[in-house]
Structure 1
Amino acid sequence: MRKVIVSLLITVAFNLASASSESDTSLAKLTSMVQSFSSLSYQGVFVRSQGVAMNSMKIRHGLIDGVEYESLIDLDGDKIEVIRIDDSVICVYPDISFANTAAPVSAPLKQFKELNGDRLLEGYRFKLSKKIELIAGRKAQKLTLLPKDSYRFGHAFWLDMENSFLLKHDTLDAEGKVLDRVQFTDISFNPTLKKSDFLPRLGTYSRHVVSVTPKMTDNKWHFTWLPDGFAPVWRDARLLNDRTAMLLLSDGMTSISVFVEPTDTIKPYSVMEMGATTVGEMSRSLLTDILRLTIVGEVPEKTVEKMLMSFAPRTMQ
């Protein structure tokens, strides 16, 4: 009997050590992935699909004379471009009238630049595949983040075997259905890039985007419930205007934005979903105020609804 118990203890210890080793290896690969976005020179085309919507983008990134250059062009529709030279950002539109109505182009790779390993371990298990796959003509290894609960989505990353660059990313629901996908169809590293490759095209309208340091205010609210691993990114609330404040939470992978605005009317709970993104809204009477609450995040609808109902003033603690 003692031999059986000892054998079981050894097996459990081995499994725990293996899981810990796989987590350490996976976190190291994710860290290398994030570093590759800014340290490598690359040029390629990727496709992003969200639900039934799909569009393709061309990205160029390089370090020229010690300065970081990046260009992102929407290849569908009117070919809006965003050029970044270190911290200077330029949006390029077909003309001035189009600039007043077009939504800015965003790079989906940037969402992973704030990965937090400690929080990831609270919310996800890691699975590193031994199978080597081919993505955009490059050898890649698949790393899957399996959620420990039903309040977040799963993620699958295909990382370049040579440099850990992210070649493909899937956001997955509980059944493994792909909700959102970013995949390179063509990618080359160390391309010959010049400063002239990052100039606005002739005949277009360019607008410099100035990053304004937002005003902050005391965070008067909290959540009586949050999924494990989720915590505020900012200690204070960010003021978007005279009426609207914003809170930001993250589990180390996924961010959830919370917008708080005073209102005069009670609005029932409503929700909209597009791919992995869920937008929930409702008005609640809290103490002497009626607040319109809006939550936006790449999380299941049940998470958004439960967070809306868990929102409370700190004085109620």
Structure 2
Amino acid sequence: MILTPWRLAVAQTPDAVQLLRNMTEAFHTLSYDGVFVHSEASNMNSMRIRHSVLSGMEYESLVDLDGDKVEVLRVDDKIICVHPDPTSENRNSPFRAPFKGLKKVSHERLALGYELAVSKESYRVAGRDAVRLTLQPRDEYRYGHVFWLDKENHFLLKHDVVKSDGQLLERVQFTSINFSPDLKQEDFVPKNGLRRKEQTKQPPVKVKNAWQFEWLPAGFSLVWTEARALNHGTNMLLLSDGMATISVFVEPSQTIRPTSVMGMGATVAGMSSFKVKDDFYLLTMVGEVPGETIDRLMTVFMPRVEND
């Protein structure tokens, strides 16, 4: 259980939720050019991100500054991954920009799993005045989150994922940020001579959900009513409590695998085999939640009853 919760006044909660909404909006609407550091476990790397809305289209560039200089360019739903050479193309997968997951935030839903508080103290991050927002988990099934938002435009300057005892699991922090960059469309065009892969986000195929959970932690629910069909007969479900998400994959299997749960930083993955009548399935769950959450969820996953 949580021994040292961050207490909040009821009057603070609507302000906290609005700050989260403003944070997500800032990512998609502001122009910015900055460098941030992402650290988890013993891994750390720095990235440069540029973003602007030009002629009604959203442009974004994300460059790895420490590795092979891989760049991910996004123009609305079109993604281009640029590799400096063939070997890096096989070693690297597209990385994500800082926290962008909150598009619709519900106070009622978040309050089931977290206590929300906005600090009255003043902070400085990347040379900018910041306000600190904390989400303290109410139980052991989720992590805590601490956000430092730009005081002027509510852009996310720093985000910590922490255990209930305060141990840091993952951090994203800007070291420099410019909100008045002179960005043009040509700044988001791959340079000649570099290898590139293009992909356009395709809407996933919706299929009937044949699975259910006998139990879920407070605040968690399925994001989609239907499942999403992936390749090789795999179905995907998505759980969320409004902040944390857990991706659930179910696929037919010919072999039995022992249950395993492993993690790196804040991300935990679990795998388990189970049998339904004469058929075997492999269940995989990945999310930014404690290992105990993944472990228990795998034991309460089962076929959906037809009359449900």
Range into which the TM-score falls when normalised by the shorter chain: over 0.9
Aligned counterpart for 1:150 among listed residues 140, 145, 156 = 140
Residue 242 of structure 1 deviates from its aligned partner by 3.1
Identical-residue share of aligned pairs (%): 50
1: CA distance, partners of 2:57 / 2:30: 12
Are the equivalent residues in 2 in contact too, given 1:123–1:148 (CA < 8 A)? yes
Residue 287 of structure 1 deviates from its aligned partner by 3.2
Please name the residue that 2:203 is paired with. Answer: 213
Please name the residue that 1:111 is paired with. Answer: 101
Please name the residue that 1:9 is paired with. Answer: none
Of Structure 1 and Structure 2, the greater helix share is in 1
1: CA distance, partners of 2:204 / 2:138: 35
Aligned with 2:119: secondary structure?
A: strand
User: Residue by residue, what CA displacement relative to the aligned partner does 1:105-160 show, whole Å, maximum 9, x if unpaired?
Assistant: 22132233454433212111012111111100001111100011110000000011
Q: Which amino acid aligns with 1:95?
A: D
Structure 1: segments with no counterpart, 5+ residues: 1-15
Please name the residue that 1:67 is paired with. Answer: 57
2: CA distance, partners of 1:38 / 1:261: 35
Q: Is 1:290–2:280 an aligned residue pair?
A: yes
Structure 2: segments with no counterpart, 5+ residues: 1-6
Residue 97 of structure 1 deviates from its aligned partner by 4.9
Aligned counterpart for 1:278 among listed residues 241, 265, 268 = 268
Q: Which amino acid aligns with 2:45?
A: N
2: CA distance, partners of 1:118 / 1:40: 28
Please name the residue that 2:291 is paired with. Answer: 301
Aligned with 2:9: secondary structure?
A: helix
Alpha-carbon RMSD: 1.7
Which structure is larger by alpha-carbon Rg, 1 or 2?
Answer: 1
Q: Is 1:130–2:130 an aligned residue pair?
A: no
For 1:163-242, list aligned pairs within 5 A.
163-242=153-232
TM-score (norm 1): 0.91
Are the equivalent residues in 2 in contact too, given 1:69–1:84 (CA < 8 A)? yes
Aligned counterpart for 1:43 among listed residues 33, 46, 50 = 33
Q: Which amino acid aligns with 1:139?
A: D
Please name the residue that 1:11 is paired with. Answer: none
Q: Which amino acid aligns with 2:16?
A: S
2: CA distance, partners of 1:269 / 1:305: 9
1: CA distance, partners of 2:99 / 2:192: 28
Please name the residue that 1:255 is paired with. Answer: 245
1: CA distance, partners of 2:264 / 2:104: 23
Please name the residue that 2:255 is paired with. Answer: 265
Residue 66 of structure 1 deviates from its aligned partner by 2.7
2: CA distance, partners of 1:67 / 1:20: 39
1: CA distance, partners of 2:239 / 2:141: 14
Are the equivalent residues in 1 in contact too, given 2:262–2:270 (CA < 8 A)? yes
Are the equivalent residues in 2 in contact too, given 1:46–1:58 (CA < 8 A)? yes
Q: Which amino acid aligns with 2:179?
A: F
Residue 196 of structure 1 deviates from its aligned partner by 1.5
The size of the alignment, in residue pairs, is 301
User: Residue by residue, what CA displacement relative to the aligned partner does 1:21-68 show, whole Å, maximum 9, x if unpaired?
Assistant: 211110011111111011111110000001111111000011223322
1: CA distance, partners of 2:145 / 2:101: 13
Please name the residue that 2:66 is paired with. Answer: 76
Are the equivalent residues in 2 in contact too, given 1:116–1:251 (CA < 8 A)? no
Are the equivalent residues in 2 in contact too, given 1:80–1:105 (CA < 8 A)? no
Are the equivalent residues in 2 in contact too, given 1:81–1:105 (CA < 8 A)? no
